Amino acid sequence: MAEGETQSPGRKKCGPYISSVTSRTVNLMIRGVVLFFIGVFLALVLNLLQIQRNVTLFPPDVIASIFSSAWWVPPCCGTASAVIGLLYPCIDRHLGEPHKFKREWSSVMRCVAVFVGINHASAKVDFDNNIQLSLTLAALSIGLWWTFDRSRSGFGLGIGIAFLATLVTQLLVYNGVYQYTSPDFLYVRSWLPCIFFAGGITMGNIGRQLAMSSHGTPRSSGNVCSTKL
């Protein structure tokens, strides 16, 4: 090193990570906003598929709204997506078991594609009865977890999310907010928990990837991505 040069303080950032934002609170808010808009976008697309297949029915005046979706559905899904996406890495950290299985954006995008495919199957594929459809979607949802997650915390949170989301949906249908055609499981469709389970796993994977990207390189390796002197 030349005598006139001084080593720059701190570790050099590596890659376009959210870690460029030093405040932990702001970092958390950015991830939450990203997850919110991802949830809103998926809600608009997936709910449109359900309405086109007449799986869900809204009042006539609501159908005329944006993208044939009730105005409150995308914000609610976006909020839930933000909570789920922030909760998954938080649980991993508290359990002391950082999730490292298939941690790259290409895997996350494939997970999103499979989730959309499962929703498409629930709306487009015709089965002889709802039991066959429910069992098929259950197998696909568990397969999604096994392919892209494989963590006990992810499976447990997915089950909890499926239970709570199905309960909330049943309450909404019971109060006449909207309805399902041919309900076969307490006002809703029996395959609905499978969709919520797969959705929880998908948003959890996105949240984990954002959390990993927000930290950049591992903190324990202080010399990683440093410039040669």
| Cα 69 → chain centroid | 20
Residue 199 lies in a domain: yes
- CA pair distance 83, 10, nearest whole angstrom: 32
Q: 55, 119 in Cβ contact below 8 A? A: no
Distances (CA, A) of 76 to 5, 69, 88, 102: 54, 12, 18, 29
In a domain, 167, yes or no: yes
Higher pLDDT, 63 or 91: 91
Dist. CA 134–CA 122, nearest whole Å = 9
Tokens of 164: 């709570």
Cα gap 99→88, rounded to integer Å? 9
Domain range holding 63?
Answer: 21-212
What is the domain count for the chain?
Answer: 1
Confidence of residue 13 (pLDDT cuts 50, 70, 90): very low
The pLDDT tens digits of the residues spanning 68-109 come to 446 777 888 899 999 999 999 888 888 876 666 667 888 899
30 contacts 211 by C-beta, under 8 angstroms: no
Least reliable range by pLDDT among 51-65, 121-135, 173-187: 51-65
3 inside domain: no
pTM to 2 decimals? 0.74
pLDDT band at 35 (very low <50, low <70, confident <90, very high): very high
pLDDT value of position 4: 46
Q: What is the DSSP string of 151-169?
A: -HHHHHHHHHHHHHHHHHH
Cα(143)–Cα(58) distance, integer angstroms? 32
Helix (H) or strand (E) holding 81: helix 73-95
Report yes or no: 140 and 110 within 8 Å, Cβ to Cβ.
no
- Is 65 a member of any domain? yes
Match 């933000």 to its residue by tokens: 82
Split at pLDDT 50, 70, 90, the class of 2 is very low
Whether residue 15 is contained in a domain is answered as no
Q: Examine residue 87 and state whether it is found in any structural domain, yes or no.
A: yes
In a domain, 9, yes or no: no
What was the pLDDT predicted at 39? 92
Instruction: Return the higher-pLDDT residue of 42 and 212.
Output: 42
Is residue 107 a part of any domain in this protein?
yes
